[in-house]
Amino acid sequence: MNKPVQPTPSETTENAEALAADGIDRKAERVKQATSEAVRHTKEAVDRAADRVEDGLHRATDRAAGAAHRVSDKAADVSDRGQELYEEARERAEDWLDQARDYVRRKPVQSVAIALGAGWLLGRLLRR
């Protein structure tokens, strides 16, 4: 029978070194894979968070723009109503002045008497 060949001490050392190097390489590869996986998961989480923030900002911007449009429309309505009220007041003042002119033309003596009386009364009130 043949005797099993026993490795020499240098072969044993080389085999041990090769096994150790192979183990280190396998572990390094697993660390790289785990690191790559962790980075991929982190990127996905950051992308999802960025998408949520972007969506939130878009919704907030849309709401702000809608509110600004409503305020602008309301301001235009108030401005239009103010213009209408101004025109009505001006027309009333013109009507009142027209009536006063007609009264003075129809009754000049009474108008002068009323003006003198009103002036005298106003002067008395303002002196106090």
For the ranges 4-18, 44-58, 81-95, 113-127, the lowest mean pLDDT is seen at: 4-18
The pLDDT tens digits of the residues spanning 13-50 come to 777 788 888 889 899 999 999 999 999 999 999 999 99
Per the CB < 8 A criterion, the answer to whether 72 and 80 are in contact is no
Q: What is the pLDDT of residue 15?
A: 78
Alpha-carbon gap, residue 113 to 119, rounded angstroms: 10
In the three-class reduction of DSSP (H, G, I as helix; E, B as strand; rest coil), residue 114 is classed as: helix
Contact 100, 93 (CB under 8 A): no
Measure the CA–CA gap between 127 and 11, rounded to whole angstroms.
129
pLDDT score, position 3: 64
Contact 111, 103 (CB under 8 A): yes
Please give the radius of gyration of the chain, using alpha carbons only, rounded to the nearest integer.
50
Rounded to the nearest integer, the mean pLDDT of the chain is: 90
Round to whole Å and give the CA distance between 111 and 102: 11
Burial class (CB in 10 A: 0-12, 13-18, 19+), 110: exposed
pTM score, two decimals? 0.46
User: Which residues, 6+ apart, have CB-to-CB distance to 103 below 8 Å?
Assistant: 111
Mean pLDDT of 53-81: 95
